[in-house]
Structure 1
Amino acid sequence: MPLAARLGRTALERLHADHGTSFYLLDLERARSNIRELTQAFRAIYARTAIGHSYKTNYIPSLCALTYAEGAYAEVVSGMEYDLACRLAAAPQRILLNGPVKSEALLERALLASSLVNVDSSQEVEVVRTIAQRHPDRTLRVGLRVNFALDGLKRSRFGIDAEGEELATAHARLAEKGNVAVEGLHGHFGGDRSAASYRQRTERMIGLVDRLFSAGPPKFIDVGGGLAGPMPEALRAQFKKPAPTYAEYAEAIATPMRERYGVGPDAPELIVEPGMGLFSDVLEFVCRVAATKTIGGVRHAIVTGSIYNVKPTLNTFDMPLLVVPGERAAAPACRWVVSGYTCMEIDILHSGAHTDLAVGDHVVFANTGAYTVVLKPPFIETAPAIIAVDANSTMTVARRAETLDDLMTTYPIA
């Protein structure tokens, strides 16, 4: 049952009164359940599995604290995210620093703090060598992000090409520095969420490890993220291919790892970085119907939220919605186009919801936990509050509603 439905209309009315016309509900228990279910599915096959919390997907501090308490790495891709992980008390050695652009200052700080840095280019290889030369008494932990072709997918622009000599050269350039420890390989490929694709990329990475780490297995193999996660059936039905379950991903990824490395303590750690797969269903966005109209025979409901609150990646999915009616009589259900508060024609949250709607109703959008909080621009309206709800239905403010003063702080105004 959606969290908003469990809380009920009275609680939603109170939250609207306290926090404004729209807000998110953060389901902490669902987040905890997701990370445990995913971890258990993988560890049942390959015990040495760890999760990396993708900060770029959702960096709500209370969510970061929860996943860190559950044993997850902090997976970050910028100086801002690295600083945030440190501020949230993540141990530096539990931070994975990825990303295509890392300043020399960031690389040096992370490496000297014993964070694991996944090198993305030959230029970064040379910067790491320079840092190693400056600090000959320190061991620097690095991995190599790899890039190779996968069936049916366009080649990624990230990582080091594994299909020529560049990857082997990068590995050799780093390994020849006695104080650089090349601990493993990292790969992340978007575009295909099928279990078969994840099996293929895992097997390819194992093959690269065999080629590069001839002295013995590395410390880790990181297969990246991009996994699908739990979702309502109304959303699942819109996928062209069935979205795999956690168990199906575990079978595809962990099984080749077990077959190659066994279950001993010296086996490489398998790292998975499922941002969307972990966090999509932990947030619900709650707004209200502000106006209704009929244009050209089509019924429209305009709500106090926007596409940037619900699906800022501008995908074509109709996000599942729940209507919690206000104090009114029920009316026959009909087809509604639900749109947002912006002045853009693309601001369509649902292209045809068959439901009963009226001004003042609460409209709740499910599966809004991935990339919404981090991608919402300061466009027309400020960002809404986030209310965290625990297993006992106790509510706390995870983020207050943004104000104009928050936005204008960085602008000098006479």
Structure 2
Amino acid sequence: MSRGKRPASTGRGKQQRRRAVSQGDSLIGTEVEVEVGDVAHGGHCVARHDGRVIFLRHALPGERVVARITDGGTASRFLRADAVQVLDASPERREAPCRFSGPGGCGGCDWQHTSAAFGRELKTRVVREQLRRLAGVDWDGVVEPVPGDEEGLRWRTRVEFAVSPDRRLGLRKHRSHDVVPVDDCLIAVPEIAATGLLDEPVEPGATGVDVAVAADREVVAVDLPVRDSGVPNVVESVAPNGVAARGFRVSSRGFWQVHPGAASTFVAAALDGLQPRPGERALDLYAGVGVFTAFLGDAVGPKGRVLGLEGDSRAVRDAGPNIAGLEHASLRRADIGRDSWDAVVDETLGTVDLVVLDPPRSGAGRAVVRDVLAREPRRAAYIACDPAALARDIAYAAESGYRVVSLRAFDAFPMTHHIECVAILEPSVRR
């Protein structure tokens, strides 16, 4: 379940100058009246003005609004904008509950101006469009709620706060390094604001604070940058429906699903789709701290075998205690797609009956999908946090003779545009 961060690029000034030239004269700040079209992937709707596409935030389909351009120029292929005045409102529009959201405010949420239920409808449209356009798959499902939030609020158990110029903690604006100081975050669990960290200036030298709230409600705050290796661990609990609960120890700076119901929901969906059998051999790619490895180990039993592979060394260290007691399960470090990870699979598993893929946002990619499915697993579960990457990889799976037999989408990040999907693949022709 690890997710990597893209390193900062070099030569930023030159890139910005080239970009400015290619965009022509700046249109930033220009206001135009537009009719709002349908939702698009990325937390915005599509509008058009003078024959050019505008990716518009803070609007809803069917509205008429005044859009203020936030990015682009006279030579740009498309523009970005905020809806700064609503002329004809959608019946689904509401007053945003968070006073820090909206144009020029915190960029963390995309859909505060509508209900959680309509947010799921918008996300359903996005998943359907991405699957149809990129994979040729017609999906008639809906994005499902995940238990553990309050109508889309009070669910986020981990928040990394940045520091504003006046040394207050806050969150960044959309597509910006600018920080909006906040005294609460309405999608965060209440324990985070209750620490008092958001009420006081931070010490000089700190670039941020990472706050995690564990399953037992223990709160751990880590100053950034981390100056030593003594980052504390927290204990998280995963309790899929119909399966015995398990506890997982993970670094407070490590990756963990931030919605309290997410991990249990995803494990249950994967196990339900895979239907693991005693004695089978399972491969868990991008295994993180061993969540799927452990539950697959329970399912296939001591006569089976499970191998987890993960590229992040810290996650691999965390995974050791999490799969302790499962002598038929192991989790090793490997950079999927780079190392000779397939040799590790050969020596540890040999044949592969089941596969779990939980790649980073960019997806697994054609080569990994091809190499994994060349092992002819009975079924594969693909857990994806980006529907476009999922759709591309589903298309690659089709090239290898695998089809989607079920796909569920979950609103594990309410009020944002993010979606988590669990797709189950099996051979198109029975072998």
Q: TM-score range by the shorter chain?
A: under 0.3
- TM-score for both structures, normalised by structure 2: 0.27
**Which structure features the higher share of strand residues?**
2
Higher relative CO (Cα under 8 Å, sequence separation at least 6) belongs to 1
- TM-score for both structures, normalised by structure 1: 0.28
